Amino acid sequence: MTKPRTPKRPAAGKPSEVPVASDADALAFRAAVSDVRPLRASPRVAPPARVHRRRITARAATEAEIDLPGPLVAADVLPEETLSFHRPGVRDQMLRRLRRGLLPIEAELDLHGHNQARARELLAEFLGLARSRGHRCLRIIHGKGMRSGSRGAVLKSAVNTWLRHHYDVLAFTSAKGIDGGTGAVYVLLRA
């Protein structure tokens, strides 16, 4: 059994017919817009040429290496202290994966036995090379400074300072125990 169709009623507040303009209204409108001219189309501006991203970051990395604090950094980090740093915009999920050692390590640098000046050179060279090869996650072994005596964790403090000032470093955190613990850091570079 089918229901009989009922005609649709216009919605409340809406007129059922569209009003038609009178001839007087049309003449008044034409008189009002008689001196209007169409705008000329503006010439299309070509977007700026796209510069290869690696060249930009390589240049910025070179500038950042120049701006790094001098090679002599005071030991302000304790041997067993956990290091952690990230720039604004790095996702929490990525930080957790880095901290847990879940990102594959693509390159490693061991700074044991080097003085601060040499360690700074090696670190700058290592980061530049890793960046040029497209590496994303690195491990840097700086040691805990146990054999430094009263000077404390000299290289650990220096690496902590240098990495914070390097343009390409997005984040770093102390490694898991199996990868060096507080004597090493995982480093996340810009993509």
The reported pLDDT for the residue numbered 105 is 94
Q: Phi, psi at residue 139, to the nearest 5°? A: -125, 130
What mean pLDDT comes out for the span 55-82? 57
CATH 3.30.1370.110 fits 75-189, yes or no: yes
d(CA 84, CA 6) in angstroms, rounded, equals 72
What's the pLDDT score for residue 37? 84
Rounded to an integer, what distance in angstroms lies between the CA atom of residue 170 and that of residue 119? 20
Domain boundaries defined on the chain: 75-189
Predicted pLDDT of residue 20: 64
Using an 8 Å Cβ cutoff, are 98 and 173 in contact? yes
Q: Quote the CA–CA distance of 142 and 158 in Å, as a whole number.
A: 9
Two structure tokens written together for 32: 């009002």
- Cβ contacts of 141 within 8 Å, gap of 6 or more: 108, 109, 110, 111, 112, 180, 183, 184
Q: What is the pLDDT of residues 62-71, one digit of tens each?
A: 444 434 555 5
pTM score of the predicted model: 0.61
Q: Token pair of 133, please?
A: 């090869």
**Is pLDDT above 60 for 56?**
no
**With the C-alpha atoms ordered 163, 164, 168, 170, is the resulting torsion angle positive or negative?**
positive
Indicate if the pLDDT at residue 171 is higher than 70.
yes
Report the alpha-carbon distance of residue 98 to residue 188 in Å, rounded: 8
